[in-house]
């Protein structure tokens, strides 16, 4: 399971017992350095919600009772996913949370999935560190388009990664509703890149953007077409 491989399990987490006071919870948060930690029951298996350092500070600054149970300020009690949940559900649930709580198949606390783990996974899928260029190709939802585009690219190089995103249509490209991102492996020359772009466009696909991963910049886009057409001079 993809989600399971990304989760930080509960044995490696800082948590707060549901019977702890706000004062005790604040001490745990300050010692750990985290801005938010899970609240668990006495068995350590039932997730009650999250406690945020900022909410306790606000409560304390207003002169309110710090001996109240930590559950008084708990948040995100229903913001959870199952360890076997479909991956897309993570994106609908995590949003502005520092992490999403993960439950096992029986609903018991399993661990958390952080933003950083999620971004690391996406970065690996994109092959940012080892790739050369990323082509953003616009296409419609016609059956077989992905295979056809991959076949064109594979004639000239391997494909290091692929990602499909829904794209908004524009007045100029009203029929193109999907963006396919192809990451090309390291070592692809500019001449090979130009050939691939030419062949894709000959087949009717629109290459909307090209990113140079090693240079960390966009070398061709709708706003700046043709920038990549000349090789950089050697210094």
Determine the Cα–Cα distance for residues 17 and 71; give it in Å rounded to an integer: 9
Residue 35: which domain range? 2-120
Say whether both 9 and 56 belong to one domain.
yes
Say whether both 89 and 136 belong to one domain.
no
Say whether both 158 and 178 belong to one domain.
yes
Ranking 5-9, 153-157, 215-219 by mean pLDDT, the lowest is: 215-219
Say whether both 11 and 83 belong to one domain.
yes
Which CATH number do you get for residue 157? 3.30.70.260
Residue finishing a domain among 69, 102, 120: 120
Say whether both 194 and 116 belong to one domain.
no
191 or 5, which is more confident? 191
Per-residue pLDDT tens for 74-119?
A: 999 999 999 988 877 887 788 788 999 999 999 999 999 998 888 8
122 or 182, which is more confident? 182
Per-residue pLDDT tens for 53-63?
A: 999 999 999 99
Number of domains in the chain: 2
Per-residue pLDDT tens for 151-166?
A: 999 999 999 988 887 6
The predicted model scores a pTM of 0.68
pLDDT of residue 233: 44
Residue 189 lies in a domain: yes
Say whether both 101 and 182 belong to one domain.
no
Residue 235 lies in a domain: no
């Amino acid at each position: 399971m993809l989600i399971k491989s990304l989760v930080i399990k509960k044995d490696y987490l800082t948590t707060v017992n549901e019977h702890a006071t706000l004062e005790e919870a604040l001490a745990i948060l300050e010692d750990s350095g985290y801005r938010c930690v899970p609240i668990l029951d006495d068995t350590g298996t039932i997730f009650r919600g999250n406690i945020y350092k900022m909410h306790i500070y606000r409560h304390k600054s207003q002169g309110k009772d710090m001996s109240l149970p930590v559950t008084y300020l708990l948040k995100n009690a229903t913001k959870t996913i199952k360890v076997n949940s479909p991956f897309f559900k993570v994106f609908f649930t995590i949003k502005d949370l520092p992490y999403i709580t993960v439950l096992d198949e029986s609903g018991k606390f399993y661990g958390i999935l952080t933003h950083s783990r999620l971004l690391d996974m996406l970065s690996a899928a994109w092959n940012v560190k080892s790739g050369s260029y990323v082509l953003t190709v616009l296409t419609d939802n016609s059956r077989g388009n992905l295979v056809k585009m991959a076949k064109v690219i594979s004639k000239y190089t391997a494909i290091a990664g692929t990602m499909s995103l829904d794209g908004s249509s524009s007045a100029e490209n009203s029929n193109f509703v999907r963006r396919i991102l192809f990451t090309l492996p390291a070592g692809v020359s500019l001449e090979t890149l130009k050939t691939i772009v030419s062949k894709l466009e000959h087949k009717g696909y629109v290459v909307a953007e090209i990113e140079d991963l090693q240079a960390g910049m966009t070398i061709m886009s709708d706003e700046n077409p043709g920038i990549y057409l000349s090789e950089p001079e050697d210094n």
